Amino acid sequence: MINLKDLEKAVCSLSESVADFIRRERLDFDLSKIEHKGFNDLVSYVDKEAELRLVKGLRQILPEAGFITEEGTAADDTKSYTWIIDPLDGTTNFLHGLPVFAISIALMKDHEIVLGVVYEVNRRECFHATKGAQAMMNDLPIHVSSATSLSQSLLATGFPYYDFEKMPAYLSILGDLMQQSHGLRRMGSAAVDLAYVACGRFEGFFEYNLNSYDVAAGAFIVQQAGGRVSDFGGGQDYIFGRQILATNNAIHDAFLAAVKKRWY
């Protein structure tokens, strides 16, 4: 029988160790070492090395698990347990010296997330949760915001950096939300955005064209902190469906309605 709390502790410790490596590399990072996976899709040796370290550590923690990874250093999603990893969510921020980037690790058992860790590298904040337990930030329990309306809410989003077909609808949504809320923020890391919804810094977050490794851990932590997560249609295809809307639950219906009005 796998003890999720023991796993959680081990994954948090591993994340802290890899975060130390990422911080050290950022101090004298050479921009000439940037690689391009595609248009505006950037990567560096830091992403790859961080992922290698995470995979090695997670294999020791749970040898029978498979992997879904951003940089492809390990790949096997046929196992009962699967780690879903983003070694450096917010790579563009990292490359430009903006201090908002995180490690994101989720554990999926038979298509259900049961553990999530988001380690915000520069603030040294480890957001973590396991199935059926209270979400935490380091050693403190966290809970979503108690705001009850969009007019009381600070919202987060992410700007698309490719596939601009939905840009007109997206900009219309932003225009509506600017007039209905305390404002919108674009941090540059979906994992951080979701962690901040979980701890009440944001009331809601939405974005499209995301991958499973961007959102799996953060979305789970939001839910364990009392929040609600859906896709733009209100369904549950947000981990692999490339669109996500996460809230403190109280504003979910209103936020979802604002997005659906322009999106469909």
Residue 31, pLDDT score: 64
* φ, ψ (nearest 5 deg) of residue 245: -135, 120
39, pLDDT greater than 60: no
Which domains are present in the chain?
4-141 (3.30.540.10), 150-263 (3.40.190.80)
Percent of the residues in the chain that have a pLDDT greater than 90, as a whole number: 80
Residue 32, pLDDT score: 62
Residue 36, pLDDT score: 61
250, pLDDT greater than 50: yes
Determine which of 28-42, 142-156, 166-180 has the lowest per-residue pLDDT on average: 28-42
Residue 104, pLDDT score: 98
Q: Dmax over Cα atoms in the chain, in whole Å?
A: 51
40, pLDDT greater than 50: no
51, pLDDT greater than 90: yes
pTM: 0.94
pLDDT in tens, 86-121: 999 999 899 889 999 999 999 999 999 999 999 999
Residue 159, pLDDT score: 87
Residue 236, pLDDT score: 97
Higher pLDDT, 79 or 202: 202
pLDDT in tens, 199-243: 999 999 999 999 999 999 999 999 999 999 999 999 999 999 999
- CA 197 – CA 252 distance, rounded (Å): 12
74, pLDDT greater than 90: no
* φ, ψ (nearest 5 deg) of residue 130: -130, 160
Residue 210, pLDDT score: 94
- CA 113 – CA 220 distance, rounded (Å): 7
Q: How far from 121 is each of 33, 96, 112, 246, CA to CA, in Å?
A: 21, 15, 26, 22
The average pLDDT across 68-91 equals 86
Q: Residue 37: pLDDT band by 50, 70, 90 thresholds?
A: low
Listing DSSP states for 189-224 in one string gives -HHHHHHHHHTTS-SEEEEES--HHHHHHHHHHHHH
Higher pLDDT, 175 or 37: 175
